[in-house]
Amino acid sequence: MPGTLPVAIENYIALSAVIFFVGVAGVMLRRNPLIMLMSIELMWNAANLLFLAFSKMWLNNAGHVFAFLVITVAAAEAAIGLAIVVTVFRSAKHVDVDEVNLLKG
Amino acid sequence: MLLFWLLGILLIASAVFVVMQRKPVYSVVGLLLHFAILAVFYLTLNAEFLAVIQIVIYTGAILILFVFVIALLSSGTEAFAAGPNRMPKAGVPAALLALVALGLLIYGVSRGNLFASGAHVAASTSIAGPPGTANVFGSVADFGKALFTTHLLPFEIMALILMVAVVGVVALAGDESPYVPTRKRASAVEREMREAIVRAGEG
């Protein structure tokens, strides 16, 4: 057992899973795209917490690098997502994801 | 253990707060709390650099971006009048389904053998030692060494991703966006109409 975590790894997995599913619920149930984006951020962070927990567990800092990568991608995603929201708002004057169906086949 | 779940429940509560709020500004406040608590978790996991990055990038950059967009979009309009619930009838079954999936996940994890092998132990040598020095797990020096030697190619690809994102954002939401009828174009149309009226009056 390489690294000693503050608590057993199962606790981290359970906590991370709960937060991830809160984020999933936010994306599925909300209509406001800003809150959907924030829910996506919650999911990114749940994954990050688990990366760091396993990293400490195996004393291998590849998990740290991967978490850093995830933060970068999350930042890019937030920027592009917000740009899309702004674009949709400027052309449609409302932000409701159910009414954005221009690309529907 | 007690402290872990005390902080964990705060973490879950702030996440639920983010999802439940009607106004996105309150969601941003909840997210701020969430990220701050998460930074504490990162510190307890010896991830010093990432705890700082969490505060600086997330609360300093991403949340500010959210606040800017909210302030930009909700000035004098009813942009966010939509109700909180997209599927009022499907909400309860969906929540139950998510709970079942969560239960299955936790059940599978508790049955699996996560401690089987020590094959993944690598790189960082020890956990003891003064913080911040090299070859101590989780120190900034250790993280930097891993990032710039072993994982240099992913780092470079990250730089490319960020550049593409910046170019994409400017193309999407910039002033000359092809996807948006800009103010400039609208005012040009207005001026043409006014000139046409003036000409009609003269003629």
Query: Which range (B92-101, B111-120, B190-199) has the least confidence?
Result: B111-120
Please state the domain count of chain B. 2
Q: Name the residue of chain A whose CA is nearest to B67's CA.
A: A34
Q: Within this chain, do residues B47 and B142 fall inside the same structural domain, yes or no?
A: yes
Q: Within this chain, do residues B41 and B136 fall inside the same structural domain, yes or no?
A: yes
Query: Which range (A23-37, A58-72, B30-44, B171-185) has the least confidence?
Result: B171-185
Instruction: Answer with the residue of higher pLDDT: B33 or B124.
Output: B33
| Chain A contacts in chain B segment 101-130 (CB below 8 A) | 101-102, 105-106, 109-110, 114-115, 118, 120-124, 127
Q: Does B143 touch chain A (CB under 8 A)?
A: yes
Instruction: Answer with the residue of higher pLDDT: A46 or B75.
Output: A46
Question: Which residue, B149, B147, B115, B120, is CA-closest to B47?
Answer: B147
Instruction: Answer with the residue of higher pLDDT: B40 or B180.
Output: B40
Helix axes B2-20, A33-58, angle to 10 degrees: 160
Three-state DSSP class for B136? strand
pLDDT band, residue B196 (cuts 50/70/90): confident
Q: Within this chain, do residues B145 and B163 fall inside the same structural domain, yes or no?
A: no
- Domain hosting B20: range is 1-76+131-150
What is the reported pLDDT for B88?
A: 62
Q: CATH no. for residue B57?
A: 1.20.120.1200
B165 within some domain: yes
A3 → closest Cβ in B95, B127, B181: B127
Q: Within this chain, do residues B71 and B164 fall inside the same structural domain, yes or no?
A: no
Q: Within this chain, do residues B41 and B139 fall inside the same structural domain, yes or no?
A: yes
What is the reported pLDDT for A93?
A: 67
B4 within some domain: yes
Under an 8 A CB cutoff, do B57 and A71 touch?
Answer: yes
**Mean pLDDT taken over chain A:** 85
- A31-97 adopts what CATH topology? Helix Hairpins (1.10.287)
Domain ranges of chain A: 31-97
What is the reported pLDDT for B11?
A: 94
Q: Does A2 touch chain B (CB under 8 A)?
A: yes
Q: Over 90: is that where the pLDDT of B118 sits? A: no
> What tokens does B34 get?
């969430």
Asked if A44 contacts A74 with a C-beta cutoff of 8 angstroms, the reply is: yes
Q: Within this chain, do residues B140 and B202 fall inside the same structural domain, yes or no?
A: no
ipTM: 0.90
- Check residue B147 and report its DSSP letter: I
Q: Within this chain, do residues B20 and B64 fall inside the same structural domain, yes or no?
A: yes
Q: Does A86 touch chain B (CB under 8 A)?
A: yes
In angstroms, the CA A6 to CA A31 distance is 38
Q: Does A29 touch chain B (CB under 8 A)?
A: yes
Q: Within this chain, do residues B45 and B139 fall inside the same structural domain, yes or no?
A: yes
| pLDDT tens column, A6-43 | 788 888 988 998 999 899 888 888 878 888 999 999 99
Q: Does B89 touch chain A (CB under 8 A)?
A: no
